[in-house]
Chain A
Amino acid sequence: MTAPNATLPVFIARRITVAVPMIVAVITINFLLIHLAPGDPTTVFFGDFVPSQAQVQELSHRLGLDRPLYVQYFTYLATLLRGDLGFSYVAQTPVLSLIFGRVGATALLMLSSLALFTTLGVTLGSLVARRPYSPADNVNAVLSLIGYSIPVFWLGQIALLVFSLQLGVLPTQGMVDVRAGYVGWAHVRDVALHLVLPVTVLGMRYLAINSRLMRASMIEALGQDYVVAARAKGLREATVQFHAFRNAIIPVVTILGTNIGELLSGSVLIEIVFGWPGLGRLMYDAIFSRDYPVLMGLFVFISVGVVIANLVTDIAYGALDPRVRRT
């Protein structure tokens, strides 16, 4: 006995009711960490910054440290849900504006990599699935193992070494050539050239993950009855492959949301290697100056991003395949 499939709007509403508690839970983790961390909660907010007596009092009052813990919790929750991610005393700037200044660069790096290497991985996986254990398939298996196992920042360092010392054809640091000061199309071309290495290095892992997953799922799809039936009907091989492909791609869509979370971690590390001016650089500096409001703000910001990305992939998946709307 199976429950009837929910209609799409009901399904979407149900997924949103799962997403909202996740964001509340993330904020709760921050609140717990502030209170569990060594020292007074205000030390967490000031980090290495040496505050004046007046600043300490002002902050204690704003956090409501003289009131009961549950009042403090709801005050904190309300502040964050309003979009106020706090203030960095080290940088003397609101955390959200620090993040907004950097998020574009990270998004450019991450989304280019995601789009390019998901497409490449899916193509590669479905091509090698036609002839399992052929030489091309074995080469792909070896490359996948490397992609899976190599630390992304080390791959970046090696690429940097090779390209900056031996070849000199691609820029290896930053997002633009500051000295040239390009504008217009020359600027776009400059950024694109700076993107090549970090995007490729970042994408190797997803090339491996997607091609492996796509290969397995395509092999399974090609063994299904409907493929045999399609061949028996005398359909062209390209049409048969396309039928199998449409079903085989579903698992790749489902892990897109998870991949986005991992890609963000990878970007942070890659940005440090290539001097890319994004969130990773911001985080690296915050770690060194013990700027906890920035670290907590980044955690909330990135979590919200990942939760939304998962929500969108879930909904896309539910729209593509009505069977998943059942539960």
Chain B
Amino acid sequence: MDALWYAFSRNRPAVAGLAGLIAMVLLAVFAALLAPADPTAMGGSSLQPPSWLHLMGTDDLGRDTLSRFLFGARVSLTVGALAAATSCTIGICVGATAGYFGGWIDQSLMRGAEFMEVIPRFFLAILIVAMFGTSVFIIIGVIGFLSWPQIARLTRGEFLTLREREYVVAARAIGVGSGPLIFSEILPNAAPPLIVMATLQVSTAILLEAGLSFLGLGDPTRPTWGLMLNNAQPFIRSAWWMAFFPGAGIFLTVAALNLVGDGLSDVLNPRLRGL
């Protein structure tokens, strides 16, 4: 662990990414303490440029942009993390089953994954959210359910090689069942590349959620960065601050996650170093 941290800490961009990510999480966690105003309170003067009173200005309904930005961080990060957790759970289960059992089970599961990868998932997400409602739980579920194939493919690949390893063969020989074999023998050894992929799943989930919200398919009761950008679109020429700050929030968070992912991948997969 110390050796891993040492290797990671030598990678300056990755450390910067981690610092940025931690900062963003702290802003989200303490949003209620840091926000100068209620993010939904209207009635202030509308479309005010940034000033000492409103550091990020106000929107068309007189709401404080900074407060909405902070609470938006909360929703965007939570949606990203939970959607990635959903897709990783599904992907690991599917991939482990396919890779461990092989044969026709593998064939049919991977055919399903191939199908899910080819269909344009953004458009399916739009259709489902438009039909079933824009609640935040539906959005998390939809993004999670549409993003598992990559994880499944990676898990399967790891399992295909790991199941032939001597320690697995030995464990099977002394009568360890399939369940324990999958979860306590093989999965921990397949973890490093999965951790890297999971980081990237969070960043793509955040981008997907932002895209949906930008199309008006966000939860209207909770400000998210994507929803703020949707609100900003009609005022783009007169009120730049309405679009600038939430977009910068998405960009910085996703960039931080990608830097951390790249850094982890260098540390955990020395084979891939230099690529």
Contacts and interface: CB of A to CB of B under 8 A. Distances in A.
B210 A290 contact: no
A269 B214 contact: yes
B275 A265 contact: no
A68 to B, nearest CB: 24
A114 B265 CA distance: 29
A33 interface: yes
B258 A145 contact: yes
Interface string B28-46: 0000000000000000000
A164 B130 contact: no
A284 B119 contact: no
Given A287-B126, A298-B123, A151 B210 contact: yes
Contacts of A132: 274
A44 B65 CA distance: 37
Given A145-B258, A261-B118, A158 B247 contact: yes
A26 B244 CA distance: 38
Interface in A183-224: 216, 219-220
Given A151-B251, A310-B118, A145 B216 contact: no
B229 interface: yes
**Interface SS of chain A: helix, strand, loop or mixed?**
helix
Nearest to A264: B120
Given A132-B274, A154-B251, A283 B126 contact: yes
Interface string A123-160: 00000000010000000000001101111011001101
B258 A153 contact: no
Contact of B127 (A146, A150, A157, A295): A295
Contacts of A145: 255, 258-259
B22 interface: no
Interface residues of A, number: 51
Given A153-B214, A157-B233, A295 B126 contact: yes
A296 B255 CA distance: 33
Interface string B234-274: 00110010011001001100110011000000000000001
Nearest to B112: A25
Given A148-B258, A154-B243, A287 B216 contact: yes
Given A148-B258, A151-B210, A151-B211, A287 B118 contact: no
Contact of A160 (B119, B203, B214, B236): B236
A9 interface: no
Interface in A270-312: 272-273, 283-284, 287-288, 290, 292, 295-296, 298-299, 302-303, 306-307, 310
B79 to A, nearest CB: 14
B229 A154 contact: yes
Contacts of B247: 151, 154, 157-158
Nearest to A216: B275
Contacts of A298: 123
A258 to B, nearest CB: 7
B171 interface: no
B215 interface: yes
A268 B124 CA distance: 13
B131 A307 contact: no
B120 A306 contact: yes
B93 interface: no
A299 B240 CA distance: 33
Contacts of B275: 216, 219-220
A132 B273 CA distance: 12
B73 interface: no
Of A26, A151, A261, chain B has the most CB atoms within 10 Å of the CB of A151
Given A148-B258, A149-B251, A287-B216, A292 B130 contact: yes
B66 interface: no
A299 B127 contact: yes
Of B120, B237, B258, chain A has the most CB atoms within 10 Å of the CB of B120
B119 A149 contact: no
Contact of B215 (A33, A38, A146, A272): A272
A190 B148 CA distance: 43
B211 A307 contact: no
A161 B123 contact: no
Nearest to A306: B120
18 contacts: A29-B119, A37-B131, A37-B132, A38-B132, A145-B258, A151-B210, A151-B229, A157-B247, A158-B244, A265-B211, A284-B216, A287-B126, A287-B130, A292-B130, A299-B126, A303-B120, A303-B123, A306-B120
Interface of A: 22, 25-26, 29, 33, 37-38, 44, 132, 145-146, 148-151, 153-154, 157-158, 160-161, 164-165, 216, 219-220, 257-258, 261-262, 264-265, 268-269, 272-273, 283-284, 287-288, 290, 292, 295-296, 298-299, 302-303, 306-307, 310
Given A153-B214, A154-B229, 9 more contacts: A151-B226, A153-B211, A157-B236, A220-B275, A261-B119, A264-B122, A295-B126, A296-B127, A298-B123
Give the 6 A-B CB pairs with smallest separation, nearest first. A154-B247, A265-B122, A149-B255, A149-B254, A216-B275, A261-B120
